[in-house]
Structure 1
Amino acid sequence: MSTITAPSENTTGEQAPARSGAPSLWRSLALRAGAVVALVAIWQAVAMARVWPPVFVPEPAAVWEQFLRTTGEGVSGYTLQEHLLVSLRRILLGCLYGVTGGVVLGLLIGMVPTLRALLGPLVTFVRTLPPLAYLSLLVIWFGIDEEPKIWLLLLAALPPVAVATADAVRGVHEDYLNAARSLGARGHELPLRVVLPSALPEIVTGVRVAVGVAYTTVVAAETVNGVPGIGGMVRDAQRYNQTDVVVLGILVIGLSGLLIDFLLQTLDRRLVPWRGRT
């Protein structure tokens, strides 16, 4: 009788995910590292084969040398770190204004049918425009300093958040609102206490999309008086056929974008822990 092992079966059942989780994590990291190594190897092979001249396809070693030089001596009058920090500051300000405005606008569009009819087409119109389409207009309005860059990133980030918020608000079940009213919630309390929390998963997804759009727009934003800035650094390098610096700038933008998206995913898990569980 003493060999009945119901408790031990529960114990092993609880420990199994822990034992399988670590190998899965290491396997994922190994696959990602292997993919990076394979890409660098292909890049090196193409560069060594001289299919295209080095001015078109520089070797990875040349890009690494530029990385060491730009982080120490600098390029276009600033170090790589200074270029990156300025670009990140512009993205932060533009996304902060754009996300805030997008959430407010999305709530209004989603909850007020009249505003939905008036503002919905305008948001869609701005969302479909490429950033370079109105960059020149922003330069005419605000000059060539920081204002047009921030406005461009704001306009790039606002529409995705507004659309995601409006759709999420319209998808909030009426039972949630009725339950809140039955518990004593007043009409002006519903947007912040019921509608916004219910729509939060879709809003966070919209924020991730908006930050990605803004990050891809930063190079366009910095084509006008963008030094210091990663986009300005790439523009100056392109003028002098410094392909290794251009590739370095692209890699820095991509890697920092991956880091920002990872931080947003972490924030998503903290703000919306119930996603996929209910």
Structure 2
Amino acid sequence: MASPTTVRARAVRRQRLRRIPLHVGTLVALVALWWLVTRLGLVRPLFLPPPGDVWDAFVRANTDHPLSPGSDRIVRGEQNYYLWEHLLASLQRIGLGVGAAVVVGIPVGLVMATTWLGVVLEPYLSFLRALPPLAYIGLLIVWFGIGDTSKVWLLFLAAFPPIAMATISGVRGVREDMVNAVLSLGASRRQTLTAVMIPATLPEILTGVRVAVGFAWTTVVAAEIANGIPGIGALAYLSGQKLNSDLVVACILVIGLAAIALDLGLKFLEKVLVPWRGKA
């Protein structure tokens, strides 16, 4: 006879499988509505290009093609890079920025939650969290130049606050009786931190990382405004300046799908690292 855990897992799996037709049907309906609106001419193509034109722009951005109809000059993708290369460059910047935010944000959050520094620094952390990226991108360029360093710094500053604040929230949510129990058994402060505090805080930290990745994606266009090629955010920005709506929508869809894929990966990582979450 299967255990309750196995039965529950099978039920969850069946429920997810039943949702697949719903998701596919919703997507098909949205694309059909999009096509119908553009086909009837309810919206000008400059504002909402048809799905076929967006697909052509996507294919064009990933292949070698003539510079213009009838031209003998062959160009590579868009801005001399394929679309997947633009995406990879942005992912690398986001990986560096969010990775640095994880390395710095978690220890800072632990220190702020367990010492008097939390009272002093938390208002400044909230201040940093409230700042829009465009407010200080110019200053970062002055400090670090228009290369990748300023972009990574901007993404770090976007990702750091949610990770630190999630860590603080997680530590403050740990029950005192759990900490007192291990201390009474002779555990040191370091052992208490590694055996109780961090495991109990890990679900909150992973949630903070997911939020931070989302913030990083919303910041990538601002980060890549200056000298951001290759970069999917810069490509979307430059395409908008040229009124190339087809390519702008293609970039938006790629950014959104990449963000969904990253979020699904983080959800899977959460299940691996904290399998007990939601089972209490």
User: What is the TM-score with the length of structure 2 in the denominator?
Assistant: 0.91
**2:73 is matched with which residue?**
none
Match for 1:35: what amino acid? T
Quote how far apart the aligned CAs of 1:83 are: 0.2
Structure 1 CA distance for aligned equivalents of residues 208 and 181 of structure 2: 27
Runs of 4+ with deviation above 6 angstroms: 13-19
CA separation in 2, counterparts of 1:20 and 1:194?
31
Which residue in 2 is equivalent to 1:52?
43
Q: How big is the shift at 1:193? A: 2.5
- What does 1:1-278 correspond to in 2, within 5 Å? 24-73=15-64, 74-112=77-115, 114-278=116-280
Deviations 1:204-238 (A, max 9, x none): 11111111111111111111111000011111111
Contact 1:76 1:236 in 2 (8 A): no
Number of residue pairs aligned between Structure 1 and Structure 2: 268
Runs of 5+ unmatched residues, structure 1: 1-9
Instruction: Determine the C-alpha separation between the residues in 2 that align with 1:18 and 1:140.
Output: 53
| Aligned-pair identity (%) | 46
Alpha-carbon shift at residue 198 of structure 1 (Å): 1.1
- Normalized per residue, the structure richer in helix is 1
RMSD across aligned positions (CA): 1.9
Distance 1:18 1:205, change over 3 A: closer
Long gaps (5+) in structure 2: 65-76
Change over 3 Å in CA distance of 1:275–1:19 after alignment to 2: closer
Task: Using the TM superposition, give the Cα deviation of residue 101 of structure 1 relative to its aligned residue in structure 2, in angstroms.
Answer: 1.2
Between stretches 23-32 and 196-205, larger displacement belongs to 23-32
Alignment partner, residue 71 of structure 2:
none
- Whose Rg is larger? 1
CA shift, 1:173, in A, is: 1.2
Give, in whole Å, the separation in 1 of the partners of 2:34 and 2:18: 24
* Other structure's SS at 1:185 match: coil
TM-score calculated relative to the size of structure 1: 0.91
Letter paired with 2:89: V
Counterpart of 2:62 in 1: which secondary structure?
helix
Taking the aligned partners of 1:137 and 1:201, their CA distance within structure 2 comes to: 35
Contact persistence 1:153–1:221 (CA under 8 A) = yes
3-state secondary structure, aligned to 1:277: coil
Deviation at 1:99, TM superposition (A): 1.6
